[in-house]
Amino acid sequence: MSPVLLLAAGGQAAQDLSTFDPVSPPAESIRNLSLLVLAITGFIFIVVEAVLITSIVRFRQRHGNDAAEPPQVYGSQPIEIAWTVAPALIVMVIVLVTTRTLWEVNVKPPEAKPGDNALYVTVVGRQWWWEFDYGQYNGRSLGFVTANELHIPASVEDVARPVYLNLKSADVCHSFWVPRLAGKTDLIPGRTNQMWFQTAERGLFLGQCAEFCGPQHANMLLRVVVDSPEDFRKWLENQQKPAVEEASARDGKAAFLAQSCINCHRVRGTRAAGNYAPDLTHLMSRQTLASGMIPNDPDGKNLRDWIANPQTIKPGCLMPAFGLSDRDRDRIVDYLRTLR
């Protein structure tokens, strides 16, 4: 890749993760608060530095002027009052605005009901990937599980489509952070946290686990895809279906079901019913593997490498290399590629 392209890609990524480019009400509230605090502290910084530099330059020791100290001032009530009251007022303003921001960010999810256009998803943080358990949309139960890529519907014109997340952890603390949609919210073992966002801007929004959770914390990537309501409906319809069996992959399916893959992974419609690792029912509908680390190319090249030895791609991840023969591996990949 040329340096210019690299720069462009870097710029794009930076924009994707910028808290200063919000597309959702909670992220906007947070951006506004940071700008206000930045303006106040910036003003204080400039005043303090100006006084400091003026004092250093104007009152420096000059040649032939090494007399005693200048006259000293001991105690001044006006100054004491000024430097107590001014910071107190500034802090009060920041406290009030922060409280309002917390209020806007912490919206308690209402009861789901038909016609609310709201999506409810339970997010489970795991070392080192995200599980998304789709609860309800527009008052209807969904009941499927997917991983690492959260699809949500876009708000359109007068119809807001809020997304409410319940955040849990299966192991250690994680933190759900998609900067352009909302602030960080931790996923803590034994506790359920909540967050919400909504956006009219379609496309891909990147995120990242934001709480150190072990050696692969930096590779616990997160993607939120905002679909048009129509695309989202189609996506839901597909995800709700069990896996479709294709005759050409019958061999591969048998190879898959014969391996210990099925103790951890689930493929709905088969006897693979593990719930410890990502649900593979519609694996090929996802753009990436290994929690956003590598593209899930339709030819299955990366999938083949991943199955051969996940540890070379994501060292320490909980999926071991199973030492499959080339033949078994190819058959399993052929089967997995039919799970669209």
Indicate whether 168 belongs to the interface with ligand CUA (CB under 6 A).
no
Indicate whether 174 belongs to the interface with ligand CUA (CB under 6 A).
yes
Q: For 113-142, b where at least 16 C-beta lie within 10 A, e where not — what string?
A: eeebbbbbbbbbbbbbbbbbbbbbbbeeeb
CA distance 16 to 60: 49
CA atoms lying within 13 Å on the CB side of residue 97: 16
Q: Which stretch binds ligand CUA (CB under 6 A): 3-11, 106-114, 205-213, 296-304?
A: 205-213
Beta-bridge partners for 219: none
Measured from the CB of residue 186, what is the shortest distance to ligand CUA in angstroms? 10
Nearer to ligand CUA, 211 or 279 (CB): 211
Measured from the CB of residue 289, what is the shortest distance to ligand CUA in angstroms? 17
Phi-psi region of 127 (alpha: psi -120 to 50; beta: other; left: phi over 0): beta
Q: Which stretch binds ligand CUA (CB under 6 A): 133-141, 212-220, 224-232, 320-328?
A: 212-220
The footprint of ligand CUA on this chain (CB under 6 A) covers a number of residues equal to 9
Q: Which stretch binds ligand CUA (CB under 6 A): 37-45, 50-58, 132-140, 206-214?
A: 206-214
Site string for ligand CUA, 122-161 (x = CB under 6 A): ---x--x---------------------------------
- Maximum CA extent, the chain: 100
Nearer to ligand CUA, 109 or 214 (CB): 214
In the list 213, 224, 289, 290, the residue contacting ligand CUA (rule: CB under 6 A) is 213
Indicate whether 202 belongs to the interface with ligand CUA (CB under 6 A).
no
Q: Say which DSSP state 108 is in.
A: P
Class of residue 185 by CB neighbours under 10 A (exposed 0-12, middle 13-18, buried 19+): buried
Quote the distance between the C-alpha of residue 296 and its chain's center. Answer: 19
CB atoms < 10 A from the CB of 325, how many?
9
Structure tokens at 266: 């689930």
Site string for ligand CUA, 32-71 (x = CB under 6 A): ----------------------------------------
- Tokens 């209402």 identify what position? 110
Q: Say which DSSP state 227 is in.
A: E
In the list 184, 202, 217, 340, the residue contacting ligand CUA (rule: CB under 6 A) is 217
In the list 220, 222, 280, 332, the residue contacting ligand CUA (rule: CB under 6 A) is 220
Indicate whether 211 belongs to the interface with ligand CUA (CB under 6 A).
yes
Binding residues for ligand CUA (CB under 6 A): 125, 128, 174, 209, 211-213, 217, 220
